[in-house]
Each structure stands twice: as C-alpha cells, then as structure tokens.
C-alpha cells in the first residue's frame, strides 16, 4: 500500500467537502436530543460514558500533587464501588505527563497530553513538534493537538494538513487527537472541512474544542463532525474517532452525545477506542445518576469525591 | 384592640429587571389628589439613565431575536399579570387621579391588542416589491434598538402602556420616564412587567424630574430613538435638536392605536436577491 | 461490542381520561344523538376500543346548525377585542393541557407522541393565539373594506392531524365572528371532543362551537344543510369534487384543501445530510399520511446513487413501534382501511416494475403498521408516481437539468407543495417561480406556522389556511 500524496488527500477533502445547512443540522441535533434513555439502556450509557471519559485538568495551577489525586479518581472513580470502571485517559499538560504516568502505573488508564502549543497553537511548527516528542518521551500514550485556526481561516488548508500529518508522524504511533476548536471556525461548513482535512492528514481522532473558549462543544457540532467521519470512512475505509470536550458537565449532556454518535456512526463507535468525552466534573454527575438508577433516590453531591 | 399597622411600600426604579434605588440616593415627595403625602419616589439621576441604557442595550439582541410568537405571548402575559394585580393598579391610579377602573381596563387591553400585532406587523407593514428585473425583493420592518420613552403625564397608566406596548411589540428595549407627578402607578406596572416573563432590561422605568432626565436621554448616543409624546413646550425643540447628534428617530404618539405606532419604533429593511438557474 | 438498545420510554396515559361514551357537542352541551346510533373509536396501534361516539344524522346536524345560527347574532356583534380574549383563552388552555391532549391524539390517531407533543398540539395552540390577535385588526387585513362574518361555517376535517386541522378551521372562523359546526373524522373524534370541554372551561358562549360526529353521510348532511353559509373541507380530492358539485348554485362560500403528490427536488449541490433529513421528514412524518408529503423524490442524476445510499442507511435508524414511546419515529397507520389502500398501491408499484426497498424492522402483532418504503426506478407513467398513496412510501425519480426538474415536478394534477434543495439561492427563487404548488419549501420540508398561508394549486384545492390570507375564507368584504 502506498501512502496517498498530500494533493490526493486534500483533493479527497475537497470532494467530500459539501455544504451543511445550519438550520437543518441544528434541528436534527435537537431532535436527537429528545431521545428518552431509560432504565437498562441508561445504566449502560452512564457506564459507557465513564469508560469513554478523558478526565481532564488543564489549569495553570496544576501540580504533580493535583495530578496524583486525579489519577486515583481516574482509576477508581467510585472508591467504594469496584463495579465502576476506570476512565479512558487522564488528560494533562506536557510537564505533568511523568507524574501522571507514574501515578497510573499498572492501570488501564492512558496518559493523554495536550501538546503543540495548546490551546492557541500559535508557536513555530518545530517547537510544537518538539513538544509532542518530549511528551511521548515522558510516557504519553495519546497526544491532543490543535490546528492553526488562523491558517485555516486564511484558506491555507495545506498548512493545516502539513501540521497534522507531521504531528502524527512525530507521535510515532501514539494516538493523535486533533482539536479543531470549532467555536472559532464560525460555520458548520468550515467545521466539516476542517474535520476532513485533519482526517485526510492522518489524525486518529477529531476533537471539538480545547475547552478554553466559548462556545465549546455543541450537539450540532458533534453531529456535523460525526457525519464527516462517516463519509470519510465510506470513501477511504478508515475509521476515525470523535472526541467532544468543553462544557460537558451533566450525565444528560453526555447521553445526548452518545445518542448522536449512536444514530450517526452506529454501535461500532460506542467504545473508548472511537469515542471520548473530555471533561473534569462530568464523572461525579455520572456516578450520581448511576446511584439514582440503582436506588431510586436523588443523591447529594457531597457523597462523591472531589479530586 | 389595637389596629394593625400597615406595611408601606418603598417605591424604587425598575432597571435591568431589578428594583434598585437611585444610585444618587435621592428621592422626591409624591402627593395625592388632595395634596396629602403618599410616598417618596426614587429620583433618578443621569447615571441611572446611563445604567438603564446599558441594561437595555444588553437585553435588546435577545428580545429582538425572539420569535414574534414568543414576544406576543410575553405581551399577553403582561396583560394576564395586570389583570390579576388590577387591585393594586387601580388603587395606585385612584389615589392620584380618582376613578381608575376604566383606565386600568384600557391599559390591560392595550397589551392584549399589541400582543396580537407582534406576528402580524411584518405581514401588514412589509411586503414583496415587484421590481423590474429577475430579482426577489422584499421589505420588512426590523426593531430600531434602544428607545427612550417620555410618555404623557396623564392619564398616568394608559399613557405609559400605550407607548411601552408598541415599543415592546416592535422588538425594542426601552428606557421609560414615568409621569413625574404620578410616578407610583408606573412602579405598580413595573411589578407586573417583572413577573410577566419580560426579560430584564427590555423595559426600564425611571422616576424623577423630567427636566433633569429628558435632556440626558435625548443626547445619549447609544439611544436609537426617542418618543417625545410627553415632552412639552420649549423642551421639545431642545430634545429634537439633541437627537440630531446621532440621528435619533423622534417619535410622537398618534391619536389612535395601530400598527403605525409599532413601526414608528422600527426601521424598514429591503433585501434583493437574484432569481436564476 | 454490544448493541445499545433504547429501553421502552412510554408516555404515561393516566393523565388522559376518556369517557365510555360521548354525546355530540351542541349549543354548549353534550347531547345524545337523535339517531341513537354510536360507533366505536379505537387505538390503531393496539385495536383497543377507547370510547363510543355518536353518529349524527340529519336531525342532529340540523340541531347543531340551529345552535350555531342562534349563537351567531351575539357572537358576531360582540366587541372584536372581547372575541379576541375568548380565542386567547382557548390558546392558553390548549397550552395548559398540551401533554394530555398530545397523549390522547396519539392514542386515537396512531401518530408518534414526539410529533403530537412537539408539533400538532403546540401548533394548534399557536394557531388560536395568532387568529385571536386578528379579531380586532381586520381593517388592516382588508384595507378599504369592512370584513363581515359569513354566518354558520360547516367544517369537515381529516384524521391525519385531528387537533391541528380543528385549529386551522375553528380559529380563523370564530375570530372573525362566525359560528361553527365541525365534524372530525370518524376514526379520530376524541381530541375534538376534548376541545369541546375546553370551550366550556373558557366560558365560550354556547353554540359558537359545535362538534358533531359521524362518517361521510354526516359530513354530506352538514355541507348540504341550507342554513350553512360557508363550507371548509380538508380531505381527499375525490370528496372535494363531490362537495364542490353539491354546492353549485347555493352561494355558500367554499374552501377546499385536498390531496397532493409533492415533488421534493434535490440538486447536486444540496447540503446532502440535511436533504436526507428533509426527505425523511417529508415522507415519513406522520407515516406519510400528510396531504403535502414529499412523496416524489426528484434527485439530480449526478448525486442520485450517493444520496440514495445515505437515505437507505438513514431509514435503517428509524424506530417503528408504540406511538406512545417517546423514541418512536414511525407510528401506526390510522386505520385498517388506510393500511389496505397503502398495501394495494405498493403492490401496484411492484407489479409495475419499480424496485422496492424496506429496512429491516419488527412490525408489532396488533394494530395497523407499514414499514418505511422506497421505490427506485420509478418513471412518470407509474401509478405510484401519480396517485396519492397517503402512506410512508417514497417514489424516487431522477433528472438532469432545472427545466427537466420543473417539468417533472409539475407533471401531476395536484399542486399542493414542493421542495427544493440547493445551496444556490437564485436557483431556489427561479424554481419557486416555476413550480405550480401552493407551498414551496426550500432546504426544509413540512414546516407549518400559523402566520404562513397553506393551500393548493390545481386539484389540490383552493383557499388558504393560515396567515392573513387565511382570514379571507371566513369573511365577506363590504364597503366600509
């Protein structure tokens, strides 16, 4: 098998580009959000949402101590309940990868590092690539990069393609998630196009937002990206993952995203290999809802550990 | 047996959905028909006007973007709240102007009437223009923005409602100066608005001295239109001249209610689009 | 990997109380029929009997028309602003009792609860709200003329949107000062009878709204009644023609909203994923039992294959089943008779050589059901491209140029609605100018709003419902 050329890949993005009608996409997302998920199917979804979670801390005040606490939450979200699974990954800044890796040793939880001048992406490419390399060297299993929105909005698709494909290359087999920062792209047409360019450049997952700007992830955005993933798979046979992140705090929101993925991409995407939710406070709400399902009582936030 | 001591109301401004006192800390005495003391009304300052304009500007985009149906229901809800609080409205009007029942009826019905205009104003006042060429061409009214309203001094309640309702109907956010002499019914009305799903800041009602406040409102550059129905005499000329600074629309009420009262608070937009394969 | 199955999420039915039997609602009271006859009304999803409803015979019809005539004097001379307030009250009570009404609508008609809850009932309330506002503003609807009510309006409505069609008929009629006798369809009488209760709750003067029940014979007696001034009918073109003949020479004012065979035209530059949603909504909304359904898909050849792939995949995600389940997309067919008609015409399609596609789906044992169906390889001369099926059946044809699309779209006796899907605004307007249809949707389909007029060209009928134009059906214009 030969690697497709850049021209070929960008041509593919052009061909699949198409347009998105905003009113229609939003109406479809709103319709899907009225799905009523109950009983067993809700329990299954809540548990899946935990397994798909990238437990995230991306604050200036993050310290190794904070990351160790979070790692324990990632491995055992509900210390008293061994039935609750671990989350998929712990997502941190590069400087904290080592601490995370040590704290998670022996668990199934992956270390994901944001890299490449997160969240703006406004550094020279060689520095961004070096940041990826060092995060990998420190033990990161997954890398969350951002595209250059400035270049993309200026029409420089080639540069975006180049950045993503070089990042995938230097990540050397580590799972690369590419953040489009959809809240800065302005239209669903552009979100679709950016999704296709990132996929054509070889990213393993496309991701909505850094969580640092508003609007972050929205349901119609996830829908449009899921549709792009589906069309890309039809055209190339390659299955790309989806990560939604930013502002997802409630179990209700998480389930709405799962419904969109389920009804757009199918059951094959309902796994941490192909779907992730980046969040910091979501896990406790998922735990509360699980307890509500089991006991029938509404719970109290103080019963869930804050790390 | 001692008589129960009544709790008296503090009359405040209605600003951004809240009921603050004037930032100036001032108030003025309001007297009844027989000259008796009724209450101290807040005496708004130029800074209160500034704050009210800021609140209106912030509230405006949401109100203008609300569907016509939604705005209609909010106006109708105002009528519902006025009807249930009509005892309060009547009492406030009665102690300054005497017989109040008819005035309150008319005030409520004004909101019902304009509730029905929100989703019809475009149909009646806009339309397709048959231009000579392969173009689709349509004209429709749009909200002007932030409007100042100086209603007539009396009848205190209907004068106010007959200006607030069409301004709301047209999707504007307003800063309203209450009757200086009879400000208390305006605050009773504000309490209806505040409990009627009207988003905070869409209507702001200030009480105070008109000769102090009107020039500030008229010269404020972030006010898009000013209704001078209640401005009298020499001050009219002054206000109209001040309005020119940012080309404010200057509006006065006509004798009859109707769609033109609404479009007075609106701007017409025309859109062209080609038709072709 | 496991499959994620949604657990059943049925809407509770306890909020609805259905009586064992009903009377006709005449002169502000539920009265037993002179006919002494009743018929059973069922839930088409379960075939369970819900209630017994009277058959109005000619004497019952006469009683209802007399009650309406009696009420006309005071109602039409009431201050328009006060009339408005009654209509506003109706709108508000429908909003208050919306969930109850939606559940009842779904139980009696078979439509998915998500549609009755999110579309039918909210729109019905909005319709009353909109026309309430017109009651005291008629001089702006008809400049230079005085709009007077006609008198007694006879209104016969279909079973596909029972409450919404009631609203379309009654709201403009009573807002303009008419009184009405309305006959709901024989398979779906229950929300109309609940509406009668609402009329009582709001204190509407007796006789302004009268609801009588029965099948075709009752409808015929009603429209024929000599003291009726206005007839409004929504239903099949066949019955519409009968009514038009019947009314010849009577001076009764008539509006007809009849059948359709709408073309949904997809150009190659269309936003395809949203077009797929529009096609699905166009033909599977209310199981395709919609007069303006987008039952003919005209797709540009260059994207036909791609679009059909997407459409077929989407069909596989449609959830058919219990209409009361909040996750149901496709509910029950309204009646056995309608199901038989759909089956017959689908059989004709297969015989004529069109290729049939149906996604795998489980059909419940009881009740009336038909799976979402697509016919490809259809040509203009096929009966499934010409006749209204009134079911979840889409006939797919292709075209190459705009002219061809217009020609094919217009090539039917009907002219109710049409759809256009393209990113190019000027093409939308060019096409809209040429399509012979009363409603043209661009990059959307099956949208309704009280402010927007609806009605057909050609054999789809005449007169408009909704909007300012909807008032015309209920007034005579005289010199001021």
At C71-120, the pLDDT tens digits run: 999 999 999 999 999 999 999 999 999 999 999 999 999 999 999 999 99
In a shared domain, residues C276 and C343:
yes
**Residues B115-140 as b or e (16 or more Cβ within 10 Å = b):** bbbbbbbbbbbbeeeeeeeebbeeeb
User: What's residue A14's pLDDT?
Assistant: 84
Residue A114 lies in a domain: yes
Q: Using omega within 30 degrees of 0 as the cis cutoff, is the peptide bond preceding A12 cis? A: no
Facing C443 at nearest CB: one of A21, A34, A41: A21
Q: Which residues contact A239 (CB under 8 A, 6 or more apart)?
A: A229, A233, A268, A274
In a shared domain, residues C167 and C269:
no
Could you read off the pLDDT of A238-249 as tens digits, one per residue?
A: 999 999 999 999
Residue A5 lies in a domain: no
A-chain CB neighbours of C2 within 8 Å are 44, 267
User: What's residue A281's pLDDT?
Assistant: 92
- Name the domain count of chain A: 1
CB pairs under 8 A between B and C: 67
Residue C181 lies in a domain: yes
C428: left (phi over 0), alpha (psi -120 to 50) or beta: alpha
3-state secondary structure of C123: helix
C213: left (phi over 0), alpha (psi -120 to 50) or beta: beta
User: What's residue A8's pLDDT?
Assistant: 84
Which residues of chain B register pLDDT less than 70? 1
Could you read off the pLDDT of C387-399 as tens digits, one per residue?
A: 999 999 999 999 9
In a shared domain, residues C416 and C464:
no
Handedness of CA A267, A272, A276, A277 (dihedral sign): positive
| Contact C96/A at CB under 8 A | no
- Name the domain count of chain C: 2
Neighbours of chain C (3+ CB pairs under 8 A): A, B
| Contact A265/C at CB under 8 A | no
**Residue of A14, A30, A34, A36 to mutate, interface with C, max C Cβ within 10 Å:** A36
Task: State how far the Cα of A42 lies from the Cα of C96, in Å rounded to an integer.
Answer: 30
Could you read off the pLDDT of C149-182 as tens digits, one per residue?
A: 999 999 999 999 999 999 999 999 999 999 999 9
In a shared domain, residues C94 and C166:
yes
Could you read off the pLDDT of A3-53 as tens digits, one per residue?
A: 667 888 888 888 888 899 999 999 999 999 999 999 999 999 999 999 999
Q: What is the mean pLDDT of residues C450-478?
A: 98
Facing A38 at nearest CB: one of C7, C118, C270: C7
Residue C277 lies in a domain: yes
Contact C274 A263 (CB under 8 A): no
Task: State how far the Cα of B123 lies from the Cα of B144, in Å rounded to an integer.
Answer: 18
B225: left (phi over 0), alpha (psi -120 to 50) or beta: beta
DSSP string, A121-156: --S-HHHHHHHHHHHHHTT-SEEEEE--HHHHHTT-
> Which residue range(s) make up the domain with A246?
15-303
User: What's residue A3's pLDDT?
Assistant: 60
* Residue A165: pLDDT over 80: yes
Strands B146-150 and B135-143: unpaired
Contact A37 C9 (CB under 8 A): yes
Facing B116 at nearest CB: one of C137, C429, C433: C137
User: What's residue A1's pLDDT?
Assistant: 40
Task: State how far the Cα of A166 lies from the Cα of B57, in Å rounded to an integer.
Answer: 47
Structure tokens at C477: 């214009």
Residue A208 lies in a domain: yes
Residue C470 lies in a domain: yes
CATH number of the domain bearing residue C93: 3.40.605.10
Could you read off the pLDDT of A77-104 as tens digits, one per residue?
A: 999 898 999 999 999 999 999 999 999 9
Residue A3 lies in a domain: no
* Residue C1: pLDDT over 70: no
* Residue C263: pLDDT over 50: yes
* Residue A60: pLDDT over 60: yes
Could you read off the pLDDT of A196-216 as tens digits, one per residue?
A: 999 999 999 999 999 999 999
User: What's residue B1's pLDDT?
Assistant: 65
Output DSSP code: residue C285.
G
Residue C8 lies in a domain: no
Spell out the domains of chain B, with CATH numbers in brackets.
43-274 (3.40.605.10)
* Residue C134: pLDDT over 70: yes
CATH number of the domain bearing residue C293: 3.40.309.10
Could you read off the pLDDT of C275-289 as tens digits, one per residue?
A: 999 999 999 999 999
In a shared domain, residues C400 and C429:
yes
Task: State how far the Cα of A218 lies from the Cα of A195, in Å rounded to an integer.
Answer: 15
> Which residue range(s) make up the domain with C118?
24-258+458-478
In a shared domain, residues C274 and C242:
no
CB pairs under 8 A between A and C: 69
Residue C57 lies in a domain: yes
Residue A130 lies in a domain: yes
CATH number of the domain bearing residue A267: 3.20.20.70
Residue C448 lies in a domain: no
| Contact A258/C at CB under 8 A | yes
Output DSSP code: residue B171.
T
In a shared domain, residues C200 and C288:
no
Q: Which residues contact C394 (CB under 8 A, 6 or more apart)?
A: C279, C283, C288, C294, C295, C296, C297, C373, C374, C375
In a shared domain, residues C212 and C328:
no
Residue C447 lies in a domain: no
Residue C469 lies in a domain: yes
Reported in sequence order, the residue ranges of chain B that DSSP labels E, i.e. its strands, are: 27-31, 37-42, 127-128, 135-143, 146-150, 173-177, 203-206, 225-227, 249-251, 266-274
- Write out B189-244 in H/E/C secondary structure: HHHHHHCCCCCCCCEEEECCCHHHHHHHHHHCCCCCEEECCCCCCHHHHHHHHHHH
**Complex-level ipTM:** 0.96
User: What's residue B246's pLDDT?
Assistant: 96
């Amino acid at each position: 098998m030969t690697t497709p050329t850049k021209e070929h890949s960008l041509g593919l993005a052009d061909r699949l580009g198409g347009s998105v009608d905003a009113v229609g996409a939003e109406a479809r997302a709103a319709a899907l959000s009225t799905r009523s998920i109950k009983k067993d199917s809700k329990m299954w979804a809540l548990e899946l949402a935990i397994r798909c979670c990238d437990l995230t801390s991306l604050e200036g005040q993050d310290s190794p101590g904070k990351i160790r606490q979070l790692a324990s939450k990632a491995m055992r979200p509900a210390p008293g309940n061994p039935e609750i699974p671990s989350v998929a990954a712990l997502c941190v800044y590069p400087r904290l990868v080592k601490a995370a890796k040590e704290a998670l040793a022996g668990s199934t939880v992956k270390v994901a590092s944001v890299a490449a001048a997160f969240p703006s992406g406004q550094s020279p490419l060689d520095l961004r690539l070096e940041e990826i390399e060092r995060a990998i060297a420190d033990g990161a299993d997954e890398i969350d990069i951002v595209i250059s929105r400035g270049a993309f909005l200026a029409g420089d698709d080639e540069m975006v393609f180049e950045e993503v494909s070089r990042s995938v290359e230097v990540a050397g087999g580590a799972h690369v998630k590419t953040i489009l920062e959809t809240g800065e792209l302005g239209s669903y047409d552009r979100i679709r196009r950016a999704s296709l360019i990132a996929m054509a450049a070889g990213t393993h997952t496309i991701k909505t937002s850094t969580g640092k700007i508003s609007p972050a992830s929205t349901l119609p955005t996830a829908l449009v990206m899921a549709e792009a993933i589906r069309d890309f798979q039809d055209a190339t046979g390659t299955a790309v993952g989806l990560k939604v992140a930013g502002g997802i705090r409630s179990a209700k929101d998480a389930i709405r995203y799962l419904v969109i993925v389920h009804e757009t991409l199918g059951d094959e995407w309902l796994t941490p290999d192909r779907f992730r939710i980046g969040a910091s406070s979501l896990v406790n709400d998922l735990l509360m809802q699980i307890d509500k399902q089991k006991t029938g009582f509404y719970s109290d936030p103080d019963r869930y550990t804050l790390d | 047996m001692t008589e129960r001591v009544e709790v008296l109301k503090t009359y405040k401004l209605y600003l951004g959905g809240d009921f603050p006192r004037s930032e100036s800390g001032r108030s003025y005495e309001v007297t009844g028909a027989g000259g008796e003391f009724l209450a101290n009304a807040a005496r708004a300052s130029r800074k209160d006007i500034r704050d009210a304009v800021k609140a209106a500007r912030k509230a405006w985009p949401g109100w203008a973007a609300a569907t016509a149906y939604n705005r209609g229901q909010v106006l109708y809800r105002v009528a519902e709240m006025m009807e249930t609080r009509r005892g309060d409205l009547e009492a406030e009007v009665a102690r300054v102007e005497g017989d109040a029942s008819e005035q309150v009826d008319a005030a409520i019905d004004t909101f019902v009437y304009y509730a029905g205009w929100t989703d019809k104003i475009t149909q009646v006042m806009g339309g397709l223009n048959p231009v000579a060429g392969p173009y689709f061409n349509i004209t429709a009214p749009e909200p002007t923005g932030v409007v100042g309203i100086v209603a007539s001094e009396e009848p205190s309640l209907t004068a106010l409602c007959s200006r607030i309702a069409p301004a709301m109907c047209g999707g504007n956010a307003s800063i309203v100066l209450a009757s200086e002499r009879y400000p208390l019914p305006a605050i009773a009305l504000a309490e209806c608005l505040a409990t009627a799903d009207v988003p905070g800041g869409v209507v702001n009602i200030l009480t105070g001295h008109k000769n102090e406040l009107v020039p500030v409102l008229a010269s404020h550059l972030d006010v898009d239109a000013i209704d001078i129905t209640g401005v009298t005499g020499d001050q009219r000329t002054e206000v109209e001249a001040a309005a020119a600074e940012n080309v404010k629309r200057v509006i006065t009420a006509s004798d009859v209610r109707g769609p033109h009262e609404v479009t007075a608070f609106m701007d017409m937009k025309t859109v062209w689009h080609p038709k072709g394969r | 990997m496991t499959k994620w199955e949604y657990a059943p999420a049925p809407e509770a039915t306890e909020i609805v109380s259905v009586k064992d039997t009903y009377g006709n609602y005449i002169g502000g009271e539920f009265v037993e029929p002179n006919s002494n006859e009743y018929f059973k009304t069922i839930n088409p999803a379960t075939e369970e009997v819900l209630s017994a409803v009277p058959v109005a015979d000619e004497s019952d019809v006469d009683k209802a028309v007399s009650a309406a005539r009696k009420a006309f004097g005071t109602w039409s001379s009431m201050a328009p602003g006060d009339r408005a307030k009654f209509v506003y009250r109706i709108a508000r009570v429908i909003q208050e009792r919306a969930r109850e009404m939606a559940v009842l609508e779904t139980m009696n008609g078979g439509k998915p609860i998500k549609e009755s809850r999110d579309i039918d009932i909210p729109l019905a309330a909005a319709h009353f709200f909109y026309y309430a506002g017109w009651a005291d503003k008629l001089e702006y609807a008809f400049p230079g003329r005085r709009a007077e009510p006609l008198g007694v309006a006879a209104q016969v409505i279909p079973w596909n949107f029972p409450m919404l069609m009631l609203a379309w008929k009654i709201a403009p009629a009573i807002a303009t000062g008419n009184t009405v006798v309305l006959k709901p369809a024989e398979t779906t009488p229950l929300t109309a009878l609940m509406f009668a209760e609402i009329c009582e709750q709001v204190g509407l003067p007796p006789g302004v709204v009268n609801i009588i029940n029965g099948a075709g014979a009752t409808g015929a007696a009603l429209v024929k009644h000599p003291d009726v001034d206005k007839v409004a009918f929504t239903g099949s073109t066949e019955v519409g023609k009968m009514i038009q003949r019947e009314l010849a020479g009577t001076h009764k004012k008539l509006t007809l909203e009849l059948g359709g065979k709408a073309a949904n035209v997809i150009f190659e530059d269309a936003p395809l994923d949203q077009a797929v949603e529009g096609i699905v909504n166009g033909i599977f909304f209310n199981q395709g039992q919609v007069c303006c359904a987008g039952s003919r898909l005209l797709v540009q050849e260059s994207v036909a294959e791609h679009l059909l792939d997407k459409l077929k995949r989407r069909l596989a995600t449609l959830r058919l089943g219990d209409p009361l389940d909040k996750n149901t997309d496709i509910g029950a067919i309204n009646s056995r008779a309608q199901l038989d008609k759909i089956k017959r015409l689908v059989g004709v399609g297969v015989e004529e050589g069109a290729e049939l596609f149906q996604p795998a789906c489980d059909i419940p044992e009881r009740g009336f059901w038909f799976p979402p169906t697509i016919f490809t390889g259809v040509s203009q001369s096929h009966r499934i491209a010409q006749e209204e099926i009134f079911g979840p059946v889409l006939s797919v044809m292709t075209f190459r140029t705009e002219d061809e699309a217009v020609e094919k779209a217009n090539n039917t006796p009907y002219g109710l609605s049409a759809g256009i899907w393209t990113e190019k605004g000027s093409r939308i307007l060019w096409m809209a100018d040429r399509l012979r249809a009363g409603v043209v949707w661009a990059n959307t389909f099956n949208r309704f709003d009280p402010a927007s007029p609806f009605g057909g060209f050609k054999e789809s009928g005449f007169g408009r419902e909704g909007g300012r134009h909807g008032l015309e059906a209920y007034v005579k214009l005289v010199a001021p």
